[in-house]
Structure 1
């Protein structure tokens, strides 16, 4: 066996069209994060994506890296992600706002939950009075009873950011093969529609499409697709520009950092009891303003094995009516410029990190916090491959 092994390796190498150190399947933010971490270590990197460009979760979002409101492993990955976003701002020329995000409290129970959260996150959260939060977010006068400034949050334009990172990585020698599908994956080897590739390490970062390549693991982690209704709106009557991403009481029900606040149960009970139509849509009422002044509005959520292409106009109308009330606008004054269907992987766990085959690493953010944690998670995975503890 030992005498024939070199001959076998030589034959296998001859069958390959290309060899690299790291092959990454998926050019979304998690895949790009792995490419960044690998090229930083001087490795030869190839990124493969079946699309002609990125059109998935990494561009269909608010661009809000909600760093401050995470907990546990997500907080660790978010803190590292923040560092990497700031670095990419300088190196890749991204548009980025690092002035933090805001939570508008419309009820005393929301304000109480914010106070409980702020007490645990001293140095990262500043409580605001009603006048200050109104001046920072442009909400209707008299609507807010107070709020909070999430000091570590940042914002990018996802459509611009993903393209800029791709161009930056290409300038550093990362090779991209778009319009390329992966047919099979084995240890050290991928078979794609462009040929056979050998790689010391393979990272599969395909988000919700994990069930296409590793269906057993997708089933074990209970990975499904979460579909969203989102839109971009012009609001000429907005009182002031948004000072940063804006969250609401509905947002507080979604993020793990708020989960241990004693008052969050009262917030949930009141919102679900008083606005069952929004609860049925699983709304996260939040807003980000882009450099051109338009505002991303959203979003609703539903989960299934497949995302229906048919979006309900009633969901968009509910979002618009809620937005008009929030900012003290006439519904007719809100001009919808774009509507779209967001989608991301969802599962009971926040992250899927597995090595189903030797040297093959399956990595996915299985909640809607890919822009918040994806770069940091990728950096951790590459670090553990090439800098193992105790090595």
Structure 2
């Protein structure tokens, strides 16, 4: 292992990992420093849905590029990618109108989407309730990942096949430009030198550049998710299933002509609004079904106010609503967890350059698993001053 690199990346989550991937493919030497034994936070505590369909036009473009990249890597090595599509299920006339409008937008964007009738939805998904669904919008090109193993397999590929230098269990305590290069010091007493540095972990950002952090507009969202026990070998729920509340929440639908008027009619005092719930389903490889999720917000500087427990009232509410949508063989819960991600209040990602050598990049919000691969392909060129 050298002590000098073209690029040092602090944080081994999905955003940092894909910056490493693109830099390595371009022939640069890259060191990644991770404070834990392996990534512990948002990259492994998410739903595992890669859904460009849910994003605004700018980030849909990044997401579509991400799909290509995921599939290219999966063709070389297994990182748990499964192309089984995504579907949005409408439960009323308003949601159907939004599906029609989004389908039209995607025709203009040349992004494949197919309107499904009620009968087609019921035929596709075993247990889907006839009294819930009216129709659907299907995106055949979208994929799912297993977040509890994708990043680990991807990092292994970067190390063994592309030459990434990966240091784990090393807390970075200092990062600054000295004489035109970056010095990165760890708590273990090691100093690494780099031409450029990228800080991709919110917690490292907070510790390394506290004044910038406190003056940022970052906020944190706490999400609760759960997973049933295995549904058995006979039951299959293919793809990502997003429901009416997702239609009413996701950025893509905000570009629909009817969206603002429909949102204005919603009950602001409902539990759904209070807890930021929209019901999603995804079957994991072990046959279990992941159900979620909720969103509670706090400024990043006061994240502790969100607490570190699971609010069982939220879980009970999500299960009750999920039962109204799909009848699973069992709703026995085998695992519950929460995760946190940061996002900006006024922009789509937090990006700040310190001099000519250090970039802080965080606050990608819920776009990380879908948008990181495509966004990183573009952003790495500006970091490394490469065409």
Q: 1:329, 1:242 → 2: CA distance? A: 9
> What corresponds to 1:374 in structure 2?
372
Determine which of 261, 278, 282 is the counterpart of 2:272: 278
> What corresponds to 2:336 in structure 1?
339
User: Which secondary structure state, in structure 1, belongs to the residue aligned with residue 184 of structure 2?
Assistant: strand
Worse-superposed segment, 132-141 or 37-46 = 132-141
Aligned Cα RMSD in Å?
2.3
User: Which secondary structure state, in structure 1, belongs to the residue aligned with residue 324 of structure 2?
Assistant: helix
Q: 1:267, 1:290 → 2: CA distance? A: 33
> What corresponds to 1:83 in structure 2?
68
Q: 2:193, 2:339 → 1: CA distance? A: 34
> What corresponds to 1:312 in structure 2?
311
Q: CA deviation at 1:231?
A: 0.8
Is the aligned partner of 1:190 residue 2:174?
Answer: no
Is the aligned partner of 1:40 residue 2:25?
Answer: yes
> What corresponds to 1:64 in structure 2?
49
1:118-133 superposed matches below 5 A: 118-122=103-107, 123-133=111-121
Distance 1:215 1:76, change over 3 A: farther
Q: 1:277, 1:318 → 2: CA distance? A: 8
Q: 2:202, 2:248 → 1: CA distance? A: 24
> What corresponds to 2:196 in structure 1?
201
Contact 2:228 2:288 in 1 (8 A): yes
> What corresponds to 2:101 in structure 1?
116
Distance 1:134 1:271, change over 3 A: farther
Q: CA deviation at 1:377?
A: 1.7
Q: 1:247, 1:142 → 2: CA distance? A: 17
Contact 1:133 1:148 in 2 (8 A): no
Q: How many residues align?
A: 371
Which structure 2 segments of 5+ residues have no match?
none
1:286-320 deviations in Å (ceiling 9; x for gaps): 11111111111111111123141122111111111
Distance 1:210 1:263, change over 3 A: same
Distance 1:197 1:235, change over 3 A: closer
Is the aligned partner of 1:107 residue 2:92?
Answer: yes
TM-score normalized by the length of structure 2: 0.90
TM-score normalized by the length of structure 1: 0.89
> What corresponds to 1:54 in structure 2?
39
> What corresponds to 1:10 in structure 2?
none
Distance 1:300 1:168, change over 3 A: same
> What corresponds to 1:11 in structure 2?
none
Q: 1:79, 1:221 → 2: CA distance? A: 29
Determine which of 128, 133, 147 is the counterpart of 2:136: 147
Structure ID, larger Rg = 1
